[in-house]
Amino acid sequence: MHILVIDDEKSQRDILEDILTDAGYSVVIAENGDEGLEYATSGNFDLVLSDLKMPGKDGLDVLKGVRDFNPEIQVIIMTAFGTIPGAVNAIKGGAFDYLTKPFKKEELLHVVRRAGERHALISENRKLKDEISKQYHYQNIIGKSAAMREIYKLIDRIKDVDTTVLISGESGTGKELVARAIHFSGKRSNGPFVAINCGAIPESLIESELFGHEKGSFTGADKSHIGKFEQAQSGTIFLDEIGTMRADLQIKLLRVLQERKVERVGSQTSTELDVRVLAATNDDLELKVREGSFRTDLYHRLNVFHIKLPKLSERKDDILLLSNHFINKYTERYNKNQIALTQAAFKALDNYAFPGNVRELENIIEKAIILSDGPQIDAADLMIPDAVHSIHYSDKDASKSLPELEEKLIYDALKENFGSLKRTAKKLGITYKTLQYRIKKYAIDKNQFKQN
Ligand SMILES: Nc1ncnc2c1ncn2[C@@H]1O[C@H](COP(=O)(O)OP(=O)(O)OP(=O)(O)O)[C@@H](O)[C@H]1O
Ligand SMILES: [Mg+2]
């Protein structure tokens, strides 16, 4: 344990130093309150032992300064006989205990030991809390599921190195959020974070947007323009929707990534780049590579490190946590009183497939908060999109014909409702009669779903 002793009386300082050092503590000595406070707020002390009456800053000033700096540091105040009111004030001000001079060696060591135990307990608790909060979020990313905790670990591992990272995942899974977390928790956080959506910029402008151009380099270029790469100097560039990039730009981008230099359109000279590159895609880039619409070499350049974000439906553990997070966010934004989800509302969320992932959950909650006027949000208030759309629709289904899809939807809905025609019809938003007709048409045996 690391102890700071503050006393203006030399004999007292010497005794304390001897006793505490003999007992195995590491001790630093200060001769007055000012010096003591300076040490206390720049060192790494667990315990401060300070005299009460001193010229300049007294023991109460030291106590306050130490508590403000770090409330985990325990303070013991030493008072001369007869200054009990001062000691009482010290306790009120958050001192751990006080010692009345002259005190016995055992008395001193006993109090110091107890203070040490208290310090250990408090810092242990704090560490535990830090641990827990670390697991529940990473910067603004919320989630405690195993899948998200893996992602936090990955981010932690790569935030301070300059590797290029490819972030993939369906729309609304948090790709941009992850890119920002990498930048803002890493060593480039003081530099700019420049995002560019490669899919949203007209094709004719994207080259100049990325790399910049010189005045007169093409019709309409009446001023020179700094591209996003140069804007991101000493920071991070985030190339969003990279899968949409045109073939001729893919090769230019590859060259920039390889050479770490950028040449403005119409310029003969190049600029050295100190930029970290993060890219995101909700396309299956590997498939695009196989199909030949995305360059293999660029793919490998970007995919030095890969973070794949799970769908929300694959991490249902997080739905409640995220819902509460968004409820807090939007009750605050719209000045509403505390609102909670009913059990039924939570169940409805839990059953929903969220094709739009976290963004969709956020939108659902925001709408419900805006429209809510009570302390509760019920299932119906969530206005979860039509049942038909909530039945899981996978990529594989995209190639199915309409009758095939219809058959699958009816099959899935029947299964979900254990063969009850009434509930299935309701869920699909069609009449009982229509459902009967379709079941016959597709020759589905509804009895197979009945529970015994
Ligand atoms: N884990 C999460 N915790 C909190 N908010 C999240 C999380 N994931 C996504 N969001 C929120 O959902 C919205 C969409 O996230 P983001 O823009 O990062 O998704 P995306 O994967 O980039 O989507 P797209 O492919 O459509 O661009 C944002 O408002 C974001 O704050
Ligand atoms: Mg995005």
pLDDT digits (tens, 9 = 90+) for 271-329: 999 999 999 999 899 999 999 999 999 999 999 999 999 999 999 989 988 998 999 89
**Same domain, residue pair 357 and 398:** no
Low-confidence ranges of the chain (pLDDT < 70): 81-82, 131-134, 386-400, 452
pLDDT the model gives residue 126:
81
Best CA proximity match to 273, nearest among 237, 223, 225, 224: 237
For residues 267 and 400, membership in a common domain is answered with: no
Q: Is 378 exposed, middle or buried (0-12, 13-18, 19+ CB in 10 A)?
A: middle
Residue to mutate, 312, 354, 358, ligand 1, most ligand atoms under 8 Å from C-beta: 358
Helices vs strands, H then E, count in the chain: 19, 18
Q: Is residue 82 part of a domain?
A: yes
Q: Which amino acid is at 26?
A: S
- Cβ atoms of residues 27 and 70 within 8 Å: no
Q: What ligand has the least distance to the C-alpha of 358?
A: 1
168 and 292 share a domain? yes
| Ligand 1 atom 7 nearest Cα | 174
The CATH number for 189's domain is 3.40.50.300
Helix H or strand E segment including 275: none
CATH of the domain at 30: 3.40.50.2300
User: Is residue 136 domain-resident?
Assistant: no
Q: 427, 417, 423: which is closest to 449 by C-alpha? A: 417
Q: What is the pLDDT of residue 389?
A: 45
Pocket test for ligand 1, best of 154, 244, 309, 362 (most atoms within 8 A of CB): 362
Q: Which of 308, 323, 352 delimits the end of a domain?
A: 308
Residues 381 and 430 in one domain: no
SS3 percent helix, strand, coil of the chain, rounded to 5, is 50, 15, 35
User: Given the CA of residue 180, which atom of ligand 1 is nearest to it?
Assistant: 18
Residue 300 inside a domain? The answer is yes
The CA R_g of the chain, rounded to the nearest whole Å, is 32
Q: How far is CA 156 from CA 152, 159, 254, 264, 280, in A?
A: 6, 6, 27, 34, 18
Indicate if 294 and 169 belong to the same structural domain.
yes
Establish if 365 belongs to a structural domain: yes
CATH code for the domain in which residue 398 is found: 1.10.10
Taking a C-beta distance cutoff of 8 angstroms, is the pair 220, 207 a contact?
Answer: no
| Cα–ligand 1 centroid distance for 141 (angstroms) | 9
Residues 106, 66 within the same domain: yes
Predicted pLDDT of residue 393: 53
Name the one residue in this structure whose structure tokens are 């919320």: 142
Ligand 1 contacts (CB < 6 A) are 141-143, 169, 171-177, 282, 322, 358-359, 362
Residue 134 lies in a domain: no
169 and 280 both lie in a single domain: yes
Q: 370: Cβ–Cβ under 8 A, 6 or more apart, which residues?
A: 330, 334
Residue 149 lies in a domain: yes
Give me the phi and psi of 260, to 5 degrees please: 55, 35
Same domain flag for 218 and 171: yes
Phi–psi pair at 369, nearest 5 degrees: -70, -45
Mind listing the pLDDT tens digit for each residue in 406-433?
888 888 889 888 888 988 888 887 888 8
Please give the share of the chain, as a percent, with pLDDT higher than 90.
Answer: 60
Phi, psi of 27 (to 5 degrees): -125, 135
Output the CA 178–ligand 1 centroid distance in Å. 8
Answer whether residue 118 is part of any domain: yes
Atom index in ligand 1 nearest the CA of residue 141 equals 3
Nearest atom in ligand 1 to the alpha carbon of residue 178 is 18
pLDDT for the residue numbered 132: 67
pLDDT tens track for 219-242 = 878 888 999 999 999 999 999 999
* pTM of the predicted model as reported, rounded to 2 decimal places: 0.63
Is residue 163 located within the same domain as residue 267?
yes
Number of domains in the chain: 4
For atom 8 of ligand 1, the residue with the nearest CA is 174
Q: Find the CATH number of the domain harbouring 373.
A: 1.10.8.60
Q: Which long-range contacts does 85-90 make (Cβ < 8 Å, 24+ apart)?
A: 86/52, 86/53, 86/59, 86/60, 87/52, 89/60, 90/52, 90/59, 90/60, 90/63
Which of 273, 308, 343 finishes a domain? 308
Angle between helices 175-185 and 146-158 (to 10 degrees): 40
- Which amino acid, one-letter code, is at 294? F
Last residue of a domain, one of 359, 385, 411: 385
In angstroms, rounded to a whole number, what is the distance separating the alpha carbons of residues 222 and 14? 78
Q: Examine the domain organization and report whether 291 and 209 are in the same domain.
A: yes
The H-or-E segment that residue 16 falls in is helix 10-22
**Do residues 124 and 26 both lie within one domain?**
yes
Specify whether 360 is located in the same domain as 438: no
**356: CA distance to ligand 1 center in Å?**
10
Please name the residue whose Cα sits nearest to atom 16 of ligand 1.
174
- DSSP code for 7: -
Burial class of residue 338 in the structure, from the number of CB atoms within 10 Å of its CB (0-12 exposed, 13-18 middle, 19+ buried): exposed
User: Does any domain span residue 185?
Assistant: yes
So what's the pLDDT on residue 246?
Answer: 87
Question: Which positions ≥6 away from 3 have C-beta within 8 Å?
Answer: 20, 25, 26, 27, 28, 45, 46, 47, 48, 49, 112
Enclosing domain of residue 16: 2-129
- Beta bridge pairs of residue 261: 272
pLDDT tens-digit profile of 191-205?
Answer: 999 999 998 888 888
